[in-house]
Amino acid sequence: MGLEYVKISPGFEKYMPRDYVDLVQFGQFGKQIDVMQMGQFKELVEEHPMCAGCYMAYFIRVFYAALPNPEDTIVLGTAGCARLALSQAAVPFIYGNYGDTNAVASGLKRALSIRFPDKVKDVVVMAGDGGLMDIGFGMTMHSWFRREKFTTIMVDNEVYGNTGGQESGMSPKGIQLKMAPTGKKFDKINAVELAQVAGCVYVAKISPTNPKRIAKTIKRAILAAREFGPTFIHAYTSCNIEYSIPTREVLADARNREKQDFKFYEWMTDEVKEYLEEIERKEKEKAKEEVGQ
């Protein structure tokens, strides 16, 4: 059905909430949006209760703008900061129990494949470092081992932001946080390498400093998951509250981390590479034709 379900029945436009009408008329359903146009169309997420200056909120905004198929996408989240914005978006959202995103997504994706074998239904997990690498670790890994065809995006703020700033498996070694009163005792978990060995077909690590690059990475991850298997993006999305980053410096912090341990990294299998290059070549040709006309 996809696009059909977001349409408003004729005659009902004036009774629908204004923001819903705007979403259908000026939103991105059924269109391919360039993220550089953000601010010029009705976005899938607008209101959210995340902290002022939260870089995760920015990343989530770009994520929604980058969806290749928003009218047929379901997003899953878990307890934590990200779900505060995810649950406010105009894309169906599932919030399960603590850390169970990748198990729920496994069942959901399989059910959708059974019920709609000829349709594209994208399933995307977006959860924090605690949800994916601590409490939900086993479920994250096993969804990859089983080669489930959905995308996992880890928004890594290196802390349990939502429960009040506890150390997570992704916090840097030595850092003093709540529940690590004398400093964290071990290194950040290497999630990207784990994803590679666990069977992901596309893996990226990114510090979200460049919206075009974020969008390309997200799109690639979703397209590859549709055809080949699990895909993973590890995104640095700082917690300006727990790490005391002044709002005006969050981008500078992201750039700084990009130089250090969040250098852009992208890996994919040969077949994924071939597949994505073919899609992107066709898109370029189409764009050229449109410019020519």
Partner 1 sequence: MPEQKVVEPEELLLKAPREKKFITGSQAFAEAVKRANVDIAIAYPITPQSETMHLVGDLYAQGYVKDYYRAEEEYGTMSAIAGAVRGGARAFSATSGPGLLRGLEAIVSWPGHRIPVVLGVMTRVVNAPLSIQPDNVEIAYLLHSGLVVLHAENQQDVFDFTLAGFPISEKVDVYLPVVVATEGFFVTHAKGYVELPPEDMKLPPRDPYKAPVPPTDCEIPPARIQRDAPVQKSNFMSYLIHAVWQQEVWSANRRAMKWIYHYLGGPIEVVNPDAEVFIVASGCAAAQGREAQRYAELEGLPVGLIKVKALRPFPEKEIREALKNAKAVIVPEHNIVGWLAKEVKAAIPNGGIVVDGPRVYGGMTLPVELIMDEVYKALGIKKEKTLA
Instruction: Please report, as ranges, the residues that interact with partner 1 according to CB under 8 A.
Output: 1-2, 5-7, 20, 23, 29, 49, 71-74, 76, 84, 87-98, 100, 103-116, 121, 138-139, 141-142, 146
CB of 108 to partner 1, least distance (A): 4
Report the alpha-carbon distance of residue 82 to residue 60 in Å, rounded: 8
Kindly tell me which of 90 and 206 has the beta carbon lying closer to partner 1. 90
Q: CB-wise, 79 or 276, nearer to partner 1? A: 79
> In whole angstroms, how far apart are CA 292 and each of 283, 288, 289?
14, 6, 5
Contact call for residues 55 and 238 (beta carbons, < 8 A): yes
Helices 250-259 and 55-66: crossing angle in degrees, nearest 10, is: 80
Closest among 182, 126, 134 to 158, alpha carbons compared: 134
- To partner 1, the closest distance from the beta carbon of 79 in angstroms equals 11
- For residue 176, the one-letter residue type is Q
Which residue, 125 or 153, has its beta carbon nearer to partner 1? Answer: 125
Q: How far is the CB of 282 from partner 1 (least distance, A)?
A: 25
What's the min distance (Å) between Cβ of 143 and partner 1? 8
Rank residues 5 and 265 by Cβ distance to partner 1 and give the closer one.
5
CA pair distance 52, 177, nearest whole angstrom: 21
For the CA atoms of the chain, what is the radius of gyration?
A: 19
Which of 121/226 has CB closer to partner 1?
A: 121
Burial class (CB in 10 A: 0-12, 13-18, 19+), 114: exposed
CB of 4 to partner 1, least distance (A): 8
Tell the smallest beta-carbon distance from residue 189 to partner 1 (Å): 18
Tokens at residue 136, please? Answer: 């939900």
Tokens of 67: 């969806």
The CA-atom distances, in angstroms, between 188 and each of 80, 107, 134, 176 are 19, 30, 11, 14
Q: How far is the CB of 145 from partner 1 (least distance, A)?
A: 8
Q: Nearest Cα to 150, choosing from 31, 237, 230, 266?
A: 230
The least distance separating partner 1 from the CB of residue 57, rounded to whole angstroms, comes to 15
Amino acid symbol at 18: R
Task: Name the residue type at position 285.
Answer: E
Q: Which is nearer to partner 1, 113 or 247 (CB)?
A: 113
The smaller minimum CB distance to partner 1, of residues 139 and 153, is found at: 139
CA pair distance 111, 100, nearest whole angstrom: 17
Q: Give whichever of 111 and 179 is closer to partner 1, judged by the CB atom.
A: 111
